[in-house]
Chains A and B, each alone.
Chain A
């Protein structure tokens, strides 16, 4: 119970920290004045400089965290996540392709198309004869598809003019620089919609976690439920990619970290906890990325890479000790 209170408190603290820390330190009092009176350094920070980035980070982290948990529950494997399995790289590739060929479509649409396409490719390539493959095959094939998407993105970037190429490169590593309230609106709007869809699917998700046969026995339409959940999971990840680029490791880390803090096990609460934890991780990673080198804003993805890789290694050690991998 205490853990469940801890997460919202940490989220609020993280947002506050993100608004205060940067090139110039802004006190909470200034922010308070800026919020209510609309004047002074607080108002500028809140409205233009740090507000949009903080709330985009919160939204992107939340959708990524929830997306990771969907796949971790479905594949019953903590290694399953849209970043590891190449869906986010696929979404990134779709956006880069559109930019390279001058196709003017909204980013969320492009990212969703790319993510779904990557998921279909992973699924098709994982089938070998009859029957469903083990989750490990799916994860490895996903890693391979991700490798290809990243290489193809780099290929396309080489053909762009230098400035555009630098921007695209930065975006592809996951960046919250120069976010506007339009990004906040996109990620919170689409995110809320997808969370509603997810809420309708939570019951079947709980059934699927019991195993396919048991779930079918309890009245779930296993195949349809699974495809529906995969779709929602990919769209959640694509929404995050559309506003902040393919930030690595947040989707993978958020769920297990949140479960540890809050001590929940039911799919519904796991999703909620993963969303909040994802938001916290992304915001804090961005704060560190902005302040670790004075006078320079590192992309947030660089920091989640540095923080997330040790987590993946720790997970591998732990699974090996448990004899599961």
Chain B
């Protein structure tokens, strides 16, 4: 990563839907290769899953508890130019909407997945790029859409 690396934020939801973990690690690798310094925000469980999945820290960088992250965004202590928010529930969408509001200048990608993906994407009326699929276990289609959006 260069000293001029751009800052990105992955906003992770509850880890109960399997595709999130795979796509988070995939995005970490992809954004790191594109010279982004990526911070992951999530609850303690999702951050622990990432740490265990990447013990030598090939992919993950800084991590932050999600409510602390929202506070840092509100205080402008953290100003990523790219935010990718994962949402598979109303709570996930609520955190995404909050981050979008607090990051009006950032490129904002909403990744809606799981069984309620289409409903959630419809409820997301804030400006963002949407990647939507009802995937629970198979991340392939979402990965393909991520590649298209971030190309």
A binds B: no
